[in-house]
């Protein structure tokens, strides 16, 4: 009996340091709710039961906006360590034009955290299948699929396997597209030995291990090491930007399930073991692609031009947004939203986009319209598109900022 008590005490102490709170899921929900309360558009959130995809009963946390719109919806896939709330600078603008669905990928945010395969291809297949099972439960025929970073990698993989479901593929600073350059090892010759030793030692660990090791100082660590991320959300959250670091911390202080899947898929963090450019032949030529890169991002955007050359007859629009970093959706949110809305509008007006449509005569959304969309989304819902004038754009009684 005594031995049992000693073991329990030790286990409790370790867990108390690394996870520091048994109610982290509750704190995550609270942080998300506070961020999304700043939206001007009504939304609803719920868990979508996708069944035994990886675990025995997986669930995908989902939020939706403007579901009443008859237009083709847009589905948002976040990047590593993120969640639905980090789209807060984009949701109002996108929902002014069409239905919007944002999900916490399986293994991330508030979704289930099952044990993924440690094999790259298998882990990728599991994540992609979870998105497809979510689609089936949601009964969405097709949609515009937008993915950021790791979400872009999974969006492209999904489009390869389920081309009939993707109306337009929008990739925001996507991770895992180019092949790892052969000289990447040579560039480390001037790195001190002790740095190489530490890098080698932590290589088997998940990318965000330090946040968990920091225990109760995890949020402080995020604020001190990445203050730039917090500042991106100032236009919406004003003086309450620390809630962003709290949200990111709570997203990543729990079991690193999806993060482990990413670790299985990655090769030196910056590259994927199975890069997308090596299998572009598996992507249907009819799927239009819009790539949005940040000019200051660490992601290699040369893959965009490679894809454009490889798919010479297909619609491939590559845009580099000046002044934006890897988090292009937040760094230059209005410009980002504008490009996304234009891509969606183009797919609405031209059923089968080709390379000849890159200089389409379709009227682009101007800056004044973007200002209306961002600052008065309900007004934009009434003004743009006569087919939606009779809809109740204020949201149904079941929708709420939960």
Range(s) of the domain holding residue 318: 27-180+192-349
Residue 201 maps to a domain: yes
What's the pLDDT band for 235 if we cut at 50, 70, 90? confident
Arithmetic mean of pLDDT, 285-300? 95
CA R_g for the chain: 21
Residue 141 maps to a domain: yes
Q: Could you tell me the two tokens for 210?
A: 């330090």
Q: How many domains does the chain have?
A: 1
pLDDT at residue 230, as a whole number = 77
In this structure, the number of other CB atoms found within 10 A of the CB of residue 198 comes to 11
Q: Could you tell me the two tokens for 208?
A: 């965000």
DSSP 39: -
What's the full length of the chain, in residues? 402
What's the pLDDT band for 395 if we cut at 50, 70, 90? very low
- The partner residues of 96 in beta bridges, in order of sequence, read none
- Are the C-beta atoms of 272 and 265 separated by less than 8 Å? yes
Q: Give the distance, in angstroms, between the CA of residue 274 and the centroid of all CA atoms in the same chain.
A: 19
Residue 267 maps to a domain: yes
What's the pLDDT band for 226 if we cut at 50, 70, 90? low
Which DSSP string do the residues of 177-199 spell out, in sequence order? -SPPPGGGTGGGTTS-HHHHHHH
Arithmetic mean of pLDDT, 359-375? 51
pLDDT at residue 216, as a whole number = 62
- Are the C-beta atoms of 180 and 271 separated by less than 8 Å? yes
SS (H, E, C) 310-369: HCCCECEEEEEECCCCCCHHHHCHHHHHHHHHHHHHHHHHCCCCEHHHHHCCCCCCCHHH
| Confidence (pTM) | 0.81
Residues 249-274: tens digit of each pLDDT: 888 888 889 999 999 999 877 889 99
Pairing label, strands 271-272, 316-321: unpaired
Q: Which of 25 and 29 is assigned the larger pLDDT?
A: 29
- The partner residues of 267 in beta bridges, in order of sequence, read 271
Distance CA 167, CA 396 (A): 26
- Above 60 in pLDDT, residue 350? yes
Residue 44 maps to a domain: yes
CA–CA distances in Å: residue 97 to residues 61, 170, 297, 333, 399: 23, 16, 28, 16, 18
Arithmetic mean of pLDDT, 91-102? 98
- Above 70 in pLDDT, residue 282? yes
Through-space distance between the first and last CA atoms of the chain, rounded to whole angstroms: 46
| All residues at 6 or more sequence positions from 76 whose CB lies less than 8 Å from its CB, including other chains | 84, 87, 90, 100, 101, 102, 103, 146, 147, 148, 151
Arithmetic mean of pLDDT, 284-294? 97
Arithmetic mean of pLDDT, 296-300? 91
Local structure of 246: helix, strand or coil: helix
- Are the C-beta atoms of 344 and 95 separated by less than 8 Å? no
- Above 50 in pLDDT, residue 381? no
Residues 179-219: tens digit of each pLDDT: 988 765 444 444 444 334 434 443 444 445 455 555 565 55
| All residues at 6 or more sequence positions from 62 whose CB lies less than 8 Å from its CB, including other chains | 45, 46, 47, 48, 84, 101, 102, 103, 104, 134, 138
Number of helices (H), then strands (E), belonging to the chain: the values are 17, 10
Residue 216 maps to a domain: yes
Percentage with pLDDT > 70 across the chain: 72
- Above 70 in pLDDT, residue 109? yes
pLDDT at residue 241, as a whole number = 75
Distance CA 165, CA 128 (A): 13
Local structure of 63: helix, strand or coil: strand
pLDDT at residue 22, as a whole number = 39
SS (H, E, C) 251-310: HHCCCCHHHHHHHHHEECCCEECCCHHHHHHHCCCCCCEEEEEECCCCCCCHHHHHHHHH
Residue 312 maps to a domain: yes
Residue 360 maps to a domain: no
| CATH number, domain containing residue 306 | 3.40.50.1820
Residue 2 maps to a domain: no
């Amino acid at each position: 009996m005594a031995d049992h008590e000693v073991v329990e005490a030790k286990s409790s102490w370790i867990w108390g340091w690394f996870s520091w709170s048994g109610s982290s899921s509750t704190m995550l929900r609270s942080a998300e709710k506070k961020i999304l309360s700043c939206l001007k558009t009504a939304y609803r959130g719920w868990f979508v039961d996708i069944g035994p995809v990886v675990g025995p009963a997986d669930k995908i946390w989902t939020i939706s906006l403007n579901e009443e719109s008859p237009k083709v919806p847009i589905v948002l896939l976040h990047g590593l360590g993120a969640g639905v709330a980090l789209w807060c600078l984009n949701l109002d603008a996108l929902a002014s034009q069409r239905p919007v669905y944002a999900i916490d990928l399986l293994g991330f945010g508030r979704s289930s955290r099952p044990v993924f395969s440690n094999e790259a291809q298998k882990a990728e297949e599991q994540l992609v299948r979870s998105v497809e099972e979510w689609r089936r439960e949601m009964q969405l025929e097709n949609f515009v699929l937008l993915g950021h970073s790791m979400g872009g990698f999974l969006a492209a993989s999904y489009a390869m396997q389920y081309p009939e479901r993707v109306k337009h593929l929008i990739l925001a600073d996507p991770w895992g597209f180019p092949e790892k350059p052969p000289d990447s090892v040579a560039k480390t010759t001037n790195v001190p030995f002790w740095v190489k030793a530490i890098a080698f030692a932590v290589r088997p660990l998940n990318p965000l291990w330090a946040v968990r090791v920091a225990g109760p100082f995890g949020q402080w660590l995020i604020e001190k090491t990445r203050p730039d991320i917090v500042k991106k959300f100032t236009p919406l959250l004003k003086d309450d930007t620390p809630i962003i670091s709290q949200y990111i911390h709570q997203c990543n202080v729990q079991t690193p399930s999806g993060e482990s899947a990413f670790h299985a898929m990655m090769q030196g963090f910056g590259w994927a073991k199975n890069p997308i450019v090596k299998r572009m032949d598996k992507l249907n030529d009819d799927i239009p692609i819009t790539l949005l890169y940040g000019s200051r991002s660490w992601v290699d955007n040369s893959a965009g031009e490679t894809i454009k050359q490889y798919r010479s007859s297909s619609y491939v629009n590559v845009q580099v947004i000046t002044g934006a970093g890897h988090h292009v959706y937040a760094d230059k949110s209005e410009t980002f939203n504008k490009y996304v809305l234009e891509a969606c509008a183009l797919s609405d007006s031209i059923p089968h986009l080709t390379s000849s449509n890159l200089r389409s005569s379709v009227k682009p959304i101007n800056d004044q319209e973007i200002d209306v969309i961002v600052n008065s989304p309900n007004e934009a819902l009434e003004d743009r598109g006569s087919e939606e004038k009779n809809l109740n754009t204020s949201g149904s009684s079941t929708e709420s900022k939960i």
